[in-house]
Amino acid sequence: MRPTFSIIFFTVLSGAGYGLLFLVGASLLYAPALISGFGELASAADLDNLAARARFTVEIALAAGALLTIAGLLSSVGHLGKPLRAWRAFSQWRSSWLSREGVASVLTFVPVLGLLGWLLAGGDIRSSVTLLGAIVLAVLCAATVFCTARIYSSLKPIRAWHNAHVVPGYFLFAFYTGALWIAALYTMPFALSPISIPVGTLYLFNAFVIAPLCAVLKIGYWRSLRESPKPDAGDATGLARLGTVRVFEAPHTEENYLTHEMGFVLARKHAQRLRTIALVLIVLAPMSIYPLSFLVGNVAPWLVVLLGMLGVIVERWLFFAEARHAVIAYYGR
């Protein structure tokens, strides 16, 4: 399949955005316990001060998540033939995963903007309103990422997408990029993480748990691609029952939409090198750069965000570009 950059940026940016928002929601569940944990050490005024700092951190993270998802969704509109009609895509949620994704992505903005408004208006980060918003936010983020993955995994003619690794992959990479953003945001100089985990643990978790998991999943996915059968012209035409089929003449002399869109071979030629580049960026960037934060401070986790996202862009480019569409068998390619 031809890798369209608007769709690659859509899935990577919105994945990172929803991953980040999911983790913000999850971290807010810990906020009351964390702040009351300081109770014996600090006065009530100090606790309020801590809550306000945590609130400001969460506000920044919510805004960053919202910006990432909006950028992703706008990017996806760029690939439409009739972008002004995009609103129609919210109507067919009964049958279409693309429509469900649209509905879920917009619904997620209710808790995002609700929480942001509530906190900006001075709402307490320890209150049950925040807790409720956080739960709704986390659930809707997970649902949106699930719908995004199902858009692709539901397409049977593309074997590389109609594959058991695809849904877990979208979840894991959204979680990975979201966790990179969380690590960078929650360690900013002004920030107070609402979770009671020390910074080092956050880094260790990203570099030695999530990133290797991403690599293991991707290697398993690539192995399953190698094993999946490749239908040829004989299978596509049903003429295999008569003998060995080869293309005698193409139906047209020039390219058409199908050969242009679905006959993309560049990626399969360079797949091995690009896979290595993706894995190196995704795994080695957090492992090697986080330790530098003791020297360069908060620049290190931001550099990891940049390189990790770049790795996921390469991974996503391959996800599209390596996939072979069944129709291309008619052309004997």
Partner 1 sequence: MTTLPPPAAKKLGLVIDLDTCVGCHACAVACKEWNDGGDFGPLPDADPYGAEPHGVWFNRVHSYAVEQKTPAGARELTVHFPRSCLHCETPACVTVCPTGASYKRAEDGIVLVDEDKCIGCQLCAWACPYGAREISMQRGTMQKCTLCVDRIYNETLDPADRKPACVAACPTRARHFGDLGDPDSPISQLVAERGGYALMPEFDYKPVNKYLPPRPRRDGADAPKPSPREETLDRDKLPGVLRWLDRALSR
**Residues at the interface with partner 1 (CB under 8 A):** 1, 79-83, 85-86, 88-92, 94-99, 102, 151, 154-158, 231, 233, 235-239, 241-252, 254-258, 261-262, 325-327, 330-331
Tell the smallest beta-carbon distance from residue 89 to partner 1 (Å). 4
Q: What is the CA radius of gyration of the chain?
A: 23
Tell the smallest beta-carbon distance from residue 81 to partner 1 (Å). 2
CA end-to-end span of the chain: 13
How many other CB atoms are there within 10 angstroms of residue 316's CB atom? 22
Is 136 in contact with 111 (CB distance < 8 Å)? yes
Residue placing its CB nearer to partner 1 in the complex, 98 or 204: 98
Residue placing its CB nearer to partner 1 in the complex, 230 or 252: 252
Q: Which residues contact 126 (CB under 8 A, 6 or more apart)?
A: 31, 32, 35, 36, 51
Tell the smallest beta-carbon distance from residue 8 to partner 1 (Å). 15
Tell the smallest beta-carbon distance from residue 2 to partner 1 (Å). 10
Residue placing its CB nearer to partner 1 in the complex, 283 or 321: 321
Q: Give the 3-state secondary structure of residue 325.
A: strand
Residue placing its CB nearer to partner 1 in the complex, 128 or 244: 244
Backbone phi, psi, residue 248, to 5°: -95, -50
Longest CA–CA separation in the chain, Å: 86
CA proximity to 332, closest of 202, 242, 264, 234: 234
Residue placing its CB nearer to partner 1 in the complex, 32 or 102: 102
Tell the smallest beta-carbon distance from residue 108 to partner 1 (Å). 17
Residue for token pair 């808790």: 111
Residue placing its CB nearer to partner 1 in the complex, 122 or 238: 238
Tell the smallest beta-carbon distance from residue 85 to partner 1 (Å). 5
